[in-house]
């Protein structure tokens, strides 16, 4: 089993953290780093100059590639960790077929123009069966992985046996991994929590305190469960770390780019300027439009006042303070 090779696609902070986890576990990794400057720096200095620069890779099991086909060709497992907004363009460069690969998405976002999760996109546009798709998720910020602070992940696959097997590649002294068969919930939970983290950051900038934040996040969890039950009911425990845990850390952590994005919106920045200021992708921005589209596509009515308010603010340029005030009476 340890002879399995992983191809990692992406070179941001989460991709870098995942490469660290795998190589720490003596797993062979082919890393596709499409930025020439970053790749050459890693090859020379064994560290990523832009993301988690304190992480050093001293291993013969790590091979870097400038060509995605070369990275994927000999791998049995492909781990996607590029921002969702860029994934489609990255995948289009791939000519090596994915049919004989197992693909794991570590992307907590959606493909913007198609309004699909990564698993849905791979299934519909690349004919990859859900049996060959996994999701790795959980309350796990890359910055704390770099520091080897104890963190928890969840590996979701249609087969619990496959989930258990893949989980073993990531588990070590500082990473604990549980297994699940809830691919849908794992992905949509990760999409939704980014929307709610934007709301928390926004309300922080608007002057709301900790008491209100607790109410806001509690209602966000209710909203998340309501959406998932309505769209795909499953025997899931929404209080588990893959759902509630990920929501909490994304809403509260200073490492959360979606919370940071929301803080900038609350200060009066436009969505475009906030993204430029951060120089990072806030997945929750695209997720807000995605959830609106999913509800319309499925023809469902589900009460989601927080997500709806975020859509009005981010896409219809409504005043943040007024939108928040308009939904206060709906909180319990």
Q: Give percent above pLDDT 90 in the chain.
A: 80
Instruction: Identify the weakest region by mean pLDDT among 43-57, 98-112, 275-289.
Output: 275-289
The predicted model gives 197-214 an average pLDDT of 97
What are the C-alpha distances in Å from 94 to residues 71, 78, 104?
A: 10, 12, 16
The predicted model gives 70-94 an average pLDDT of 92
Instruction: Identify the weakest region by mean pLDDT among 193-202, 288-297, 322-331.
Output: 288-297
Which DSSP string corresponds to 138-191? SS--HHHHHTT--EEEEEEESSHHHHHHHHHHH-SSSEEEEEES-HHHHHHHHH
The predicted model gives 283-293 an average pLDDT of 91
Nearest to 14 by CA among 63, 55, 75: 55
Q: At what angle do helices 283-298 and 84-92 cross, to 10 degrees?
A: 80
Q: At what angle do helices 210-231 and 283-298 cross, to 10 degrees?
A: 40
Model confidence band, residue 298 (pLDDT cutoffs 50, 70, 90):
confident
Determine the Cα–Cα distance for residues 63 and 66; give it in Å rounded to an integer.
10
Model confidence band, residue 2 (pLDDT cutoffs 50, 70, 90):
low
Question: Cβ(227)–Cβ(188) under 8 Å?
Answer: yes
Determine the Cα–Cα distance for residues 270 and 276; give it in Å rounded to an integer.
10
pLDDT surpassing 70 at residue 16:
yes
The pLDDT tens digits of the residues spanning 155-186 come to 999 999 999 999 999 999 999 999 999 999 99
Q: How many CB atoms neighbour CB 174 within 10 A? A: 14
The predicted model gives 79-94 an average pLDDT of 89
pLDDT surpassing 70 at residue 310:
yes
Question: Cβ(193)–Cβ(247) under 8 Å?
Answer: yes
pLDDT surpassing 80 at residue 207:
yes
Instruction: Using the Cα atoms of residue 317, residue 318, residue 324 and residue 329 in order, give the sign of their dihedral.
Output: negative
pLDDT of residue 231: 87
Question: Cβ(191)–Cβ(306) under 8 Å?
Answer: no
The predicted model gives 129-137 an average pLDDT of 96
Model confidence band, residue 68 (pLDDT cutoffs 50, 70, 90):
very high
> What is the residue-averaged pLDDT of the chain?
93
pLDDT surpassing 50 at residue 65:
yes
Nearest to 307 by CA among 324, 329, 332: 324
Rg (CA), the chain: 19
Model confidence band, residue 1 (pLDDT cutoffs 50, 70, 90):
very low
């Amino acid at each position: 089993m340890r002879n399995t090779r992983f191809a990692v696609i992406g070179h941001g902070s989460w991709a870098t953290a995942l490469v660290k986890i795998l190589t720490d576990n003596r797993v062979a990794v082919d890393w596709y780093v499409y930025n020439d400057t970053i790749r050459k720096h890693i090859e020379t200095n064994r560290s990523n100059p832009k993301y988690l620069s304190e992480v050093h890779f001293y291993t013969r099991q790590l091979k870097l590639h400038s060509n995605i086909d070369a990275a994927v060709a000999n791998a049995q497992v492909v781990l996607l960790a590029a921002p969702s907004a860029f994934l489609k363009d990255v995948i289009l460069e791939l000519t090596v077929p994915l049919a004989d690969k197992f693909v794991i998405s570590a992307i907590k976002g959606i493909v913007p123009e198609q309004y699909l999760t990564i698993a849905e996109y791979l299934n519909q546009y690349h004919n990859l069966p859900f049996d060959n798709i996994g999701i790795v998720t959980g309350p796990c910020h890359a910055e704390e992985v770099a520091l080897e602070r104890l963190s928890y992940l969840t590996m979701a696959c249609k087969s619990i046996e496959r989930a258990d097997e893949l989980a073993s590649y990531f588990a070590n002294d500082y990473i604990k991994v549980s297994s699940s068969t809830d691919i849908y919930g794992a992905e949509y939970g990760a999409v939704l929590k980014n929307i709610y983290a934007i709301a928390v950051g926004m309300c922080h900038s608007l002057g709301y305190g900790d008491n209100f934040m607790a109410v806001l996040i509690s209602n966000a969890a209710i909203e998340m469960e309501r959406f998932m039950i309505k769209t795909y009911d499953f025997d899931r425990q929404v209080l588990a770390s893959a759902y509630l845990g990920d929501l909490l850390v994304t809403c509260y952590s200073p490492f959360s780019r979606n919370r940071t994005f929301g803080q900038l919106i609350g200060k009066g920045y436009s969505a475009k300027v906030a993204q430029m200021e951060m120089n990072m992708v806030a997945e929750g921005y695209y997720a807000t439009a995605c959830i609106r589209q999913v509800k319309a596509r499925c023809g469902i009515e589900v009460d989601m006042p927080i997500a709806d308010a975020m859509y009005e603010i981010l896409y219809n340029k409504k005043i943040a303070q007024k939108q928040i005030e308009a939904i206060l009476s709906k909180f319990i």
